[in-house]
């Protein structure tokens, strides 16, 4: 049973690696960024509420993303395991998730920290060309990452759940390292 949380700065390759690994393991890849972008495209009430935050690189309020993740983790396909990508993004969300997993008997999750240098991250993001990837928004997302999300590395290390992978390598090298790590 594989239950993994992917942590890392924007541009570390979290999304790509999470998707690749989930495909190989045949488990759902749950990306809060993807869910939000779809909701915004379809202009659902969640999408409308989230739009201004995503567009400016801020975090969407906890209550909105937490509800979204809770609903997703209640779907039948999560019984085979899952990879969570983009959540939690701050300590309050991690505390919420810990409670949720305990309540639904899904603990035993591990956390992969995909570590990448600022230089690598900014180059990759500028080359990606997504709508929310303007330079100013990228800068803000990195600031938010450092202030809100990076503390989760210590949070999970303290709880003995943390695995670290060097995200500066090529995509294929990262995938290989990841597979070895979770098999061990």
Residue from the set 87, 96, 155, 156 that interacts with ligand ADP by CB under 6 A: 87
How many residues line the site for ligand ADP (CB under 6 A)?
Answer: 17
Who's near 57: CB < 8 A, 6+ residues apart?
Answer: 132, 136, 137, 138, 139, 140, 141, 144
**For residue 87, what are its two tokens?**
């959540």
Residue 21 three-state SS? helix
Candidates 73-81, 86-94, 102-110, 176-184; binding stretch for ligand ADP (CB under 6 A): 86-94
Instruction: Give least dist CB 174 to ligand ADP, A.
Output: 15
Instruction: Give least dist CB 1 to ligand ADP, A.
Output: 23
**CA 165: distance to chain centroid?**
15
Instruction: Give least dist CB 11 to ligand ADP, A.
Output: 6
Query: In this complex, which beta carbon is closest to ligand ADP, that of residue 5 or of residue 163?
Result: 5
Query: In this complex, which beta carbon is closest to ligand ADP, that of residue 93 or of residue 175?
Result: 93
Which residues 107-136 are close enough to bind ligand ADP by CB under 6 A?
A: none
Candidates 70-78, 83-91, 108-116, 159-167; binding stretch for ligand ADP (CB under 6 A): 83-91
Who's near 90: CB < 8 A, 6+ residues apart?
Answer: 59, 62, 148, 149, 151, 152
The three state secondary structure string of 43-81 is CCHHHHHHHHHHHHCCCCCHHHHHHHHHHHCCCHHHHHE
The reply on whether position 149 binds ligand ADP by CB under 6 A is: no
What is the distance between the alpha carbons of residues 184 and 163, in angstroms, rounded to a whole number? 11
Candidates 54-62, 75-83, 154-162, 173-181; binding stretch for ligand ADP (CB under 6 A): 54-62
**For residue 23, what are its two tokens?**
């495909």
CA neighbor of 65 nearest in space, from 83, 50, 75:
50
Name the residue number minimizing CB distance to ligand ADP. Answer: 33
The reply on whether position 53 binds ligand ADP by CB under 6 A is: yes
Residues that bind ligand ADP (CB under 6 A): 10, 15, 32-33, 36, 53-54, 57-60, 65, 86-87, 89, 93, 141
């Amino acid at each position: 049973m594989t239950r993994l949380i992917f942590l890392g700065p924007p541009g570390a390759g979290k999304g790509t690696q999470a998707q690749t690994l989930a495909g190989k393991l045949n488990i759902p890849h749950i990306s809060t960024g993807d869910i939000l972008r779809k909701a915004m495209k379809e202009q659902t009430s969640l999408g409308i509420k989230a739009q201004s935050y995503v567009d400016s690189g801020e975090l969407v309020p906890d209550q909105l993303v937490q509800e979204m993740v809770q609903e997703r983790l209640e779907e039948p396909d999560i019984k085979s395991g899952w990879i969570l990508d983009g959540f939690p993004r701050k300590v309050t969300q991690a505390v919420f998730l810990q409670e949720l997993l305990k309540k639904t008997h899904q603990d035993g999750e591990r956390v992969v920290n995909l570590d990448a240098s600022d230089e690598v991250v900014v180059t990759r993001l500028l080359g990606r060309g997504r709508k929310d990837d303007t330079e100013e928004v990228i800068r803000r997302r990195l600031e938010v990452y450092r202030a809100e999300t990076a503390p989760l590395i210590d949070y999970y290390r303290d709880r003995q759940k943390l695995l670290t992978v060097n995200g500066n390598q090529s995509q294929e090298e990262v995938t290989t390292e990841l597979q070895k790590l979770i098999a061990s």
